[in-house]
C-alpha cells in the first residue's frame, strides 16, 4: 500500500509538472519550445509561434539546448516586450488558448467600411490622408480659371443648372435663357413666366426619354423645369425652345427639384412653407404638406431622400416611398433653434446634402453642418470677418464650395474645402467680383472643372490646364486667415454663438446690418432685393 501511494504521488507530480509546462508554453508566445508537449499539441504550438506578432527567431532557443526533463522556465530566453505585455495583461486569462483568426478574416472591430483598409495596414491612415490633402492643396494653389461673362438678362440671375454643353439660367426678369458654353452665346430665350423665375431643375436623361415618348418627341430631347413667383412650374423642351407642360401650384414657387425614383416626382416648395409632390407621369398633385413656417428656399434630393430648407432656418428630411398618393414621409425635422439659422424675415437658406450631413448656408460668415439623423451641429468658417455672408453652398468633384460676400468692402469670393474632411484649400476672387447667389458645376471631358455663377452677373468659369495666362484670368490664392480655421462642433446655444461673434463689435455689426438692409431692401424677401 505504501508503495502504491508513492507511485500515485509521483504520477500526480508528473501530471502537474506536465500541466505547468503547458501553461508556461502558452504564456511564453515566441519562446515556445517543441519536444516537451505531447505530439498532438506540437503542430498547434508551432502555428502559434509562427503567427505571434512579436516573434523573433533569435529569441527561440533550439530544443537541443534544453536538457531533457528540465523545466523550460530555466532554459528559455528573456521574454520579448510584447510577450511580457501579454503575460502581465492577461490576468484571469492565464492558461486560456488564444483565439485564432483564420487567414482572410478580419475582426469586425478592425474593418474600415469607408476605404477598405484595416488597422493592420502598414501605413497609418492619418499619414496617408495628410499626404492626399497636401497633394490636393498643392494642385489648387496653382489652379487658374478663365472667366467669360454671359450677357442677356435684365435683372438678377437667381438660379442656374448645367445640361451637357449648355447652361440654363433663370432670372428675376421672368425669363429662362439657354447658353452655349463653348461659344458663350445665347442659344434660346424661353419666355412665358409672368413672375420672376426662382428655381430650375434638370431631370436625368432616362426620365426625359419617358416624357419625350409621351409627347412624340425625339428620345434625345432634354427638358428643364422652372419655378416662378407666378405659381407655375413649366417644363421646357430645350431643342425646340418651347414650354410643353405647365403645372399650376396655387402658391408662389420658391424651390423645386426632380426626384429620380420610381416613375419620377417633382417636388416644389412655396413662399408659404408648403412642400408639394407632383407625378412626373400624370403631372397631378400627389401630396401637399404645410412643412415650414416660412418660405421654402431650398429643396434637394439624395437618392430616395428629399431635403427641404426654409427661411425660418428649419430643415426637414423626407423619405420618398414611391406611392401614388402621399409619397413623402417625414423622417426628421430640425427647427431654427437647432440649426442656428433663421432669425430674420426674408432670409434665404440653401442646403447641399452629403450622406448623414447637410451643409447649410444662411447669410452668415460660416457654413453650418447639420448631422440630420441626430440633430447635432457643427460649423465651418467661410470668411475672416463678421461682415462676411455666405449665400450658397455646393459640392462637386470632392470639393465643398461656399460663396462669400463682404458687406464692409463689397468683395466676393469662392472658398474651396476638401471633402469629406472640410479642410480649407484655396479661395478664388478678382477685383469688382459680384455677389454670387447661385452656383452650378460640371467637369469637362479632360477632367477639368467648369463652373457657372449667377447674381448680378452670369459668369462661366473655365479651368485652365496650361501655364499660359491672359489678362482677367483668376488664380487661386490661400487666405492665411482661413488656414487655421477648423471644423467646430456646436455645443453652445445660438445665443452663446451670437455673443461670441458679435459682442466685441456691436458698432461694426450694426453698420453691417444697415449695409445689408440698404443693399437687399431691408426685410423684404430675397427675391425682391436690389443688388448694386
Among candidate residues 383, 390, 409, 320, the one with its CA nearest the CA of residue 352 = 390
**Number of compact structural domains in the chain:** 1
- Domain region containing 410: 349-443+476-527
Among candidate residues 295, 373, 375, the one with its CA nearest the CA of residue 335 = 375
Residue 382 in domain: yes
Residue 513 in domain: yes
Residue 484 in domain: yes
Could you tell me the three cell numbers for 443? 467637369
Please compute, for residue 105, the number of CA atoms within 13 A of its CA located in the half-sphere on the CB side: 7
Q: How far apart (Å, rounded) are the C-alpha atoms in residues 32 and 30?
A: 6
Q: In order along the chain (532 residues), what is the average pLDDT of each group of 10 residues?
A: 53 66 54 40 46 39 40 42 40 39 37 38 67 88 90 96 93 96 92 96 96 92 97 96 96 96 94 96 95 96 96 96 93 95 76 96 93 95 89 92 92 93 91 92 84 95 80 85 74 43 38 38 42 35
Residue 391 in domain: yes
Residue 133 in domain: no
Q: What is the pLDDT of residue 326?
A: 94
Residue 512 in domain: yes
Residue 376 in domain: yes
Q: What is the pLDDT of residue 5?
A: 54
CA dihedral sign, ordered 217, 221, 222, 228: negative
Q: What is the pLDDT of residue 154?
A: 94
Q: What is the pLDDT of residue 123?
A: 47
User: Parallel, antiparallel, or unpaired for β 185-191 and 197-201?
Assistant: unpaired
Rounded to 5 degrees, φ, ψ at 499 are -65, -45
Among candidate residues 341, 453, 338, the one with its CA nearest the CA of residue 394 = 453
Residue 389 in domain: yes
Q: For residue 412, give the CATH number of its domain.
A: 2.40.10.480
Strand partners, 385: none
Question: What does pTM read for this prediction?
Answer: 0.71
Q: What SS3 string covers 253-298?
A: EEEEEEECCCCCEEEEEECCCEEEEEECCCCCEEEEEECCCCCEEE
Q: How far apart (Å, rounded) are the C-alpha atoms in residues 66 and 36?
A: 10
Q: What is the pLDDT of residue 446?
A: 78
Q: How far apart (Å, rounded) are the C-alpha atoms in residues 239 and 187?
A: 10
Contacts for 364 with CB less than 8 Å, ≥ 6 apart: 341, 389, 390
The length of the chain in residues reads: 532
Q: What SS3 string covers 460-505?
A: EEEECCCCCCCCCCEECECCHHHHCCCCEECCCCHHHHHHHHHCCC
Across the beta sheet with 315-320, the strand order is 296-302, 305-310, 315-320, 328-334
Amino acid at each position: 500500500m505504501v508503495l502504491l501511494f508513492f507511485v500515485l504521488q509521483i504520477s500526480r507530480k508528473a501530471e502537474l509538472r506536465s500541466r505547468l509546462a503547458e501553461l508556461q508554453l502558452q504564456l511564453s508566445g515566441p519562446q515556445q519550445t517543441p519536444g516537451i508537449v505531447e505530439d498532438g499539441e506540437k503542430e498547434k504550438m508551432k502555428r502559434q509561434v509562427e503567427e505571434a506578432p512579436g516573434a523573433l527567431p533569435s529569441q527561440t532557443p533550439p530544443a537541443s539546448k534544453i536538457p531533457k526533463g528540465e523545466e523550460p522556465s530555466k532554459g528559455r530566453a528573456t521574454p520579448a516586450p510584447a510577450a511580457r505585455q501579454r503575460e502581465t495583461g492577461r490576468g484571469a486569462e492565464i492558461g486560456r488558448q488564444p483565439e485564432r483568426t483564420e487567414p482572410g478574416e478580419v475582426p469586425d472591430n478592425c474593418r474600415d467600411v469607408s476605404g477598405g483598409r484595416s488597422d493592420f495596414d502598414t501605413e497609418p491612415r492619418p499619414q496617408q490622408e495628410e499626404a492626399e490633402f497636401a497633394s490636393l492643396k498643392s494642385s489648387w494653389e496653382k489652379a487658374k480659371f478663365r472667366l467669360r461673362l454671359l450677357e442677356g438678362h435684365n435683372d438678377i440671375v437667381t438660379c442656374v443648372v448645367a445640361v451637357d454643353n449648355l447652361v440654363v439660367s433663370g432670372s428675376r426678369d421672368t425669363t429662362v435663357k439657354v447658353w452655349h458654353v463653348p461659344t458663350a452665346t445665347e442659344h434660346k430665350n424661353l419666355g412665358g413666366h409672368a413672375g420672376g423665375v426662382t428655381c430650375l431643375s434638370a431631370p436625368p436623361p432616362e426620365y426625359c426619354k419617358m416624357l419625350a415618348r409621351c409627347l412624340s418627341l425625339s428620345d434625345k430631347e432634354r427638358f428643364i423645369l422652372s419655378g416662378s413667383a407666378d405659381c407655375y412650374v413649366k417644363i421646357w423642351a430645350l431643342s425646340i425652345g418651347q414650354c410643353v407642360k405647365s403645372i399650376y401650384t396655387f402658391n408662389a414657387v420658391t424651390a423645386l427639384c426632380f426626384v429620380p425614383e420610381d416613375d419620377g416626382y417633382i417636388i416644389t416648395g412655396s413662399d408659404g412653407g408648403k412642400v408639394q409632390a407632383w407625378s412626373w407621369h400624370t403631372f397631378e398633385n400627389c401630396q401637399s404638406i404645410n412643412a415650414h413656417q416660412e418660405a421654402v428656399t431650398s429643396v434637394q434630393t439624395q437618392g430616395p431622400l428629399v431635403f427641404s430648407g426654409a427661411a425660418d432656418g428649419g430643415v426637414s428630411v423626407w423619405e420618398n416611398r414611391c406611392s401614388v398618393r402621399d409619397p413623402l414621409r417625414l423622417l426628421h425635422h430640425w427647427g431654427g433653434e437647432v440649426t442656428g439659422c433663421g432669425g430674420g424675415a426674408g432670409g434665404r437658406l440653401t442646403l447641399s446634402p452629403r450622406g448623414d450631413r447637410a451643409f447649410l448656408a444662411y447669410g452668415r460668415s460660416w457654413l453650418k453642418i447639420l448631422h440630420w439623423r441626430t440633430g447635432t451641429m457643427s460649423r465651418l468658417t467661410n470668411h475672416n470677418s463678421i461682415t462676411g455672408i455666405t449665400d450658397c453652398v455646393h459640392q462637386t468633384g470632392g470639393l465643398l464650395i461656399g460663396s462669400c460676400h463682404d458687406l464692409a468692402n463689397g468683395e466676393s469670393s469662392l472658398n474651396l474645402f476638401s471633402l469629406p474632411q472640410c479642410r480649407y484649400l484655396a479661395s478664388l476672387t478678382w477685383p469688382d467680383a459680384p455677389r454670387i447667389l447661385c452656383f452650378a458645376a460640371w467637369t469637362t471631358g479632360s477632367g477639368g472643372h467648369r463652373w457657372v455663377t449667377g447674381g448680378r452677373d452670369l459668369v462661366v468659369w473655365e479651368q485652365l490646364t496650361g501655364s499660359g495666362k491672359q489678362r482677367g484670368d483668376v488664380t487661386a490664392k490661400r487666405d492665411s486667415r482661413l488656414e487655421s480655421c477648423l471644423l467646430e462642433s456646436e455645443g453652445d446655444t445660438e445665443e452663446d454663438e451670437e455673443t461670441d461673434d458679435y459682442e466685441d463689435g456691436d458698432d461694426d455689426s450694426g453698420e453691417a446690418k444697415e449695409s445689408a438692409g440698404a443693399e437687399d431692401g431691408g426685410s423684404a424677401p430675397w427675391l425682391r432685393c436690389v443688388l448694386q
